[in-house]
Homo-oligomer: A and B are copies of this chain.
Amino acid sequence: LQDGDVNLFESGACLLHLAGKSDALMPRDDVGRAETLQWLFAALNSVEMVAVPWWFVGMSGQGDNPLEPWVEKRLGQLERVLAEREWLAGGRFTVADLLMADVLRVPKVRAFGDRPATEAYVARITARPAFEAAYGEQIAQFAAADAVRGTTSN
């Protein structure tokens, strides 16, 4: 992310930088802000930290995946939270939901086990017009890159 003098890598840092610019993404009161921070870190460091290596080890195809009980535990904990609330922090959509949904919408994670509250949460967030617009733009960029590659390889 480039924003004036600021150059950033790490998705979490970029999102938090953007969230600092608008209360649309993060409440400005101390409690709402702290809840948002907490769930943003939970998405990256408690859920993604287990889900991505679990996926990676699974791809390597060595018999039992030793990370499977851990990923089941984390997704089960989150299911219990999401069964009781619509959004993770501050009673409304925040950058924490944006990031958590991005971690959870990975097809392999979404297809693993049966967690109706989590599935409804992911469906709710990926149906937001802002998500659909961003996703559409990303796919269009990929398609354009593929078209260029197709032309140059001919």
Contact = CB atoms under 8 A, between A and B. Distances in A.
Interface of A: 4-13, 16-17, 30-31, 34, 37-38, 40-42, 44-46, 48-50, 52-54, 56-57, 60, 62-64, 66-67, 70
Question: Dominant SS at the A interface?
Answer: helix
Q: Name the 6 nearest CB pairs between A and B, nearest first.
A: A53-B53, A60-B66, A10-B41, A12-B41, A13-B37, A13-B38
How many chain copies? 2
A17 B48 CA distance: 22
A18 to B, nearest CB: 11
B44 A53 contact: no
Given A40-B13, A56-B70, A57-B67, A30 B5 contact: yes
A41 B13 CA distance: 6
B57 A34 contact: no
A54 B53 CA distance: 8
A16 to B, nearest CB: 6
A63 B60 CA distance: 12
16 contacts: A5-B31, A6-B30, A9-B38, A10-B41, A10-B46, A11-B41, A12-B37, A13-B34, A16-B37, A44-B45, A44-B49, A45-B45, A45-B49, A48-B49, A49-B52, A50-B53
